[in-house]
Each structure stands twice: as C-alpha cells, then as structure tokens.
Amino acid sequence: NFVRWADTGNAVPGVVAAAGCLVSATVLITAILLIRRRPLLAPSLRPALRPLAAAALLFGLAYGAVFVAFDHGRVTVVAPLYATESLWAVVWSALLLKRAEGVGPRLVLAAGLMVAGGVLIGVSR
C-alpha cells in the first residue's frame, strides 16, 4: 500500500523507484560500516564480494520486478503473490541445502499453513 501511495501523483516508473530504494539502502549501510567497523571492513568484505555478487544482482532484479508489479497490478493480487517469497525460500532450502538449514516437520507444516491460508483467501474472493 505504501508503494501504491508513493506512486500516485508522480511519473516515476517502478523500476526507477526500486533502484532509488536499493541505492539509498546501500549508501546507508556502507556509511554505517565505514563509521563503525572501518578497520574490519576490507578484510571481511573482500572474500564475500564474489559469492554474493550474483545474489545481489538477482535481489535487485526481483525488487525492481516487485515495484513494477505494484505499479501495474492490483495490490490485492500482487501482495499475496509477493508474500509467498518465504514459502519459496523454504522450498528451495529443502531442495538445495538439504539438512543444512534444518527444514523439519514444523517448518513444512508452517509452509503448508501458508498455502492453505492463500487458498482460503483465493476461494473467498
């Protein structure tokens, strides 16, 4: 709803708004790291840059896609679909990471309840 509110009355495309949010967050986090952990920053970031670059790129693209979806679609359709990101994280974790992330019966039950809730919302519309 905030995205919809922010989008009314201006001509800023969703992708530009998403890019602005990501750049602002990056600048803020970088400033905090430089102020609070400057001596530890370079040695700890250097080994992490390469593995996390692809994830950062995909996150940026996904975030932009969400803003475009909110820009062009109805919130009542986009928001529930966007909320399934937790469910997909559990599914991919179970498939790719196996036992490393501890996907057990309780987490599977929680994911099932999420799906059931989504089905109930869809049926009641």
**89, 96 contact by CB (below 8 A):** no
In this structure, the answer to whether residues 90 and 69 fall within a common structural domain is no
Domain count, the chain: 2
| Owning domain of residue 88 | 84-125
Three-state DSSP at 29 gives helix
At 97, list the tokens: 């990471």
In this structure, the answer to whether residues 69 and 92 fall within a common structural domain is no
Report H helices in the chain: 2-7, 14-36, 38-72, 75-83, 85-92, 105-124
Q: DSSP secondary structure string, 64-84? A: HHHHHHHHHS-HHHHHHHHHT
In this structure, the answer to whether residues 65 and 115 fall within a common structural domain is no
Confidence (pTM): 0.54
State pLDDT tens for residues 23-60. Answer: 888 899 888 878 877 777 777 777 878 888 888 888 88
In this structure, the answer to whether residues 59 and 93 fall within a common structural domain is no
In this structure, the answer to whether residues 63 and 90 fall within a common structural domain is no
Instruction: Look at residue 79 and tell me if it is in a domain.
Output: no
In this structure, the answer to whether residues 58 and 104 fall within a common structural domain is no
Q: Euclidean distance between the first and final Cα of the chain, in Å?
A: 19
State pLDDT tens for residues 54-100. Answer: 888 888 888 888 888 888 888 878 887 888 887 888 788 788 877 66
Instruction: Look at residue 78 and tell me if it is in a domain.
Output: no
In this structure, the answer to whether residues 59 and 91 fall within a common structural domain is no
CA–centroid distance for 119 within its chain: 22
Q: Hey, what amino acid is at 39? A: P
In this structure, the answer to whether residues 68 and 90 fall within a common structural domain is no
